Structure 1
Amino acid sequence: MKATRPLATLLAVGTVLLAAACGSDDGSTSSSGSEGGDKGKVSISGQSFPEATLVASMYEQLLDAQGYDASTTLVDTRDVYMADGQFPGSIQVVPEYVGGIVDYLNAKANGPDAASLTTNDPAASLSAAQSLFDDAGITMLDPSAATDQNAFFVTQDYADANNASTLSDLSGKSVVLAAAPDCAGRADCEKGLTDVYGITITKILPLGFASDQTYQSVLKDESQLGLTSTTDGTLADQGLVLLADDQGIQPAQNLVPAVDTSWAQDNPDAVDALNKLMAALDTEKLTELNGRVSVDREDPATVAKDFLTEAGLI
């Protein structure tokens, strides 16, 4: 999950829709388009939900085209790749979300009740957390205009029965929530729903961020509320609808590359290439690409290559 992830962030998920489409059974994706890898190996990690799978494939193919030998391993939650010695360290590059990475590092350094550093302004959020990035040995590259905030959905039938179009419309109601494993206690997830919206969460089912299990749980009324993203293009076809975050518990979640500071200093050409990728993406394009993966069931690696080629990046 992304947010403060990102779920996006944080983070997210057990079994993921299409995560294996561009990878092996262990979550690794294979390099393609490599020019020999003469610039050395690059290890990429990230969370294993469809959008992150797509963006990680963009990173991998882009770096391969720059002459690196890139490989990707996706994991369930941010906690996994942020473990000591992994990122930064054995992992050099991670596709991130502004709010997710800022909130994660803030909570890790200052405790779960630390005052939030995130706002709806991605640049301001990153600036406020600069000392945290410095201490962690992480360099944040240019955030993209493309943004994907966490969002919550219900069935159309539930929305109609409860006259609900916003999360505020669920105030005072009791629901079971299907979400990412790290949802509990997060301001952009269970805590925000409870403290800001006054929704009683009777149980959290850790079924994943935008996962098929989460969709099915809500459709079968095992849970009433599910976690996804604002760029989820699959909902209408399933009879599901987003509830507006009318009180704004979601921070800026712009896509942004997080890289090992030492590696960034040694590889300015890679930094430049990743910044150009971020500049080429916007929310409309990201939603379109997500739809090709999640709705049309196209291979994320193919969708990523098409975009990189059309944008003149490879």
Structure 2
Amino acid sequence: MNMKKVKTAVVLVVTALLVVACGSGNQASGDKPTIRVGTKDFTENLIVGELYALALENAGYNVERKPNIASSVVHTALTNNEIDLYPEYTGTGLLVILQEPLITDPEQVYQKVKEEYNKKFNATWLDYSQANDGAGLVIRTEVSEELGIKTISDLQKHASELRFASQGEVDQREDGIPALEKVYGPLEWKSSKVYDNGLKYELLANDEADVAPAYTTEGRLTEKEKFTLLEDDKQVWPPYNLAPVIRNEVLEANPDIADAINKVSAALDTETITALNAKVDIDKEDYEDVAEEFYKSIK
């Protein structure tokens, strides 16, 4: 073999070794499988699902992301083996999926869904986080401070002085205003008008309304100088704590998944997830970037 051919062969061997070495850096370690992480189709679920995916990758798994699944079918996607896990809410599991009676204690709700999902769906609820994306009422901070309204009990005493920006259905739904009035007493507003949900914070900011229905992790709630979330001090509304739901088959084959994802849940509370939502919905950052930045802070 002449020297030109020898040199060519050496170059090819070295190149091949470099390709293998570089490629292996992007692969999951060992023979760990690919985990399919699904999410619902709204900001918060997308962020949390990405956090789960990053935790799994950090633990050596390959991840296939399946975002933006409609809330109405994501549970079916899990039970039909189309995804392996996704972020769910304890209240949704209890009331929507299992159609069980209302429970308001967070731990009791969690234990109920954990037990029933295991029996009925061969699925496990991993640890739930303190982040609670439940129903609530938001009031203008100026009014809250002026009238000393911090809780829904306080609100009930001053309802006749307040303008309510309704969403229509909240006045009729059993778990809406009727549920509050059964426990707190009548809410006899100064006025009540129906508006599109997307307008509520602008109505409050522009002093066109004083109180509106809200979800407890909405990004605009970070603007505390403008908006105050009232405490449901008599616990009328059920908890909607975030938690990962995973197929038993996947968890049994890969038990270390629990430790990786439970670490994420332990880092999430209502204030934290609200701030993360605000970065996407108000600051217009990409949810993947928001999740990555937060995950780096808790690794």
Q: One fold, TM greater than 0.5? A: yes
What residue in structure 1 maps to residue 201 of structure 2?
A: 215
Matches within 5 A, 1:240-255: 240-255=227-242
What residue in structure 2 maps to residue 165 of structure 1?
A: 150
Contact kept? 1:151, 1:230, Cα under 8 Å = no
Query: 216, 227, 244: which one pairs with 1:257?
Result: 244
Q: Choose 1 or 2 for highest CA Rg.
A: 2
In structure 2, C-alpha distance between the alignment counterparts of 1:267 and 1:193, rounded to whole Å? 44
What residue in structure 1 maps to residue 128 of structure 2?
A: 143
Contact kept? 2:143, 2:210, Cα under 8 Å = no
Partner secondary structure for residue 129 of structure 1: helix
Q: TM-score, normalised by structure 1?
A: 0.66
In structure 2, C-alpha distance between the alignment counterparts of 1:233 and 1:213, rounded to whole Å? 12
Displacement of 1:295 after TM fit? 4.8
Alpha-carbon spacing, 1:225–1:286, altered in 2? closer, same or farther (3 Å): closer
1:300 correspondence with 2:293:
no
In structure 2, C-alpha distance between the alignment counterparts of 1:255 and 1:287, rounded to whole Å? 13
What residue in structure 2 maps to residue 35 of structure 1?
A: 27
Matches within 5 A, 1:1-314: 35=27, 39-48=33-42, 50-65=43-58, 66-75=60-69, 78-82=71-75, 85-89=76-80, 90-107=82-99, 110=100, 114=101, 116-119=102-105, 121-122=106-107, 124-133=108-117, 134-156=119-141, 159=144, 164-171=149-156, 175-178=164-167, 185=173, 187=175, 189-197=176-184, 198-199=186-187, 207=197, 212-219=198-205, 221=208, 224-229=211-216, 232=219, 234-236=221-223, 239-283=226-270, 285-312=272-299
In structure 1, C-alpha distance between the alignment counterparts of 2:57 and 2:205, rounded to whole Å? 41
What residue in structure 2 maps to residue 7 of structure 1?
A: none
Q: Any unmatched runs of 5+ in structure 2?
A: 1-24
Contact kept? 1:55, 1:304, Cα under 8 Å = yes
Alpha-carbon spacing, 1:238–1:59, altered in 2? closer, same or farther (3 Å): same
> Which has the higher mean CA deviation after the structures are superposed, 260-269 or 216-225?
216-225
Q: TM-score, normalised by structure 2?
A: 0.69
Contact kept? 2:221, 2:274, Cα under 8 Å = no
In structure 2, C-alpha distance between the alignment counterparts of 1:149 and 1:101, rounded to whole Å? 13
Using the aligned pairs only, state the percent identity: 23
Alpha-carbon spacing, 1:261–1:183, altered in 2? closer, same or farther (3 Å): farther
- The Cα offsets for residues 241-288 of structure 1, whole Å up to 9 and x where unpaired, read as 222212212334332111222332333233332123223444554455
**Residue type of the alignment partner of 2:86:** V
Displacement of 1:229 after TM fit? 1.0
Displacement of 1:117 after TM fit? 3.5
In structure 2, C-alpha distance between the alignment counterparts of 1:206 and 1:47, rounded to whole Å? 20
Kindly report the root-mean-square deviation, in angstroms, between the aligned alpha carbons of the 2 structures: 3.8
**Residue type of the alignment partner of 1:215:** Y
Number of matched residues? 262
- The Cα offsets for residues 48-89 of structure 1, whole Å up to 9 and x where unpaired, read as 1x332321221223334432232132256x33323xx42322
What residue in structure 2 maps to residue 6 of structure 1?
A: none
More helix by share: 2
Displacement of 1:240 after TM fit? 2.3
Displacement of 1:231 after TM fit? 7.0
In structure 1, C-alpha distance between the alignment counterparts of 2:69 and 2:140, rounded to whole Å? 29
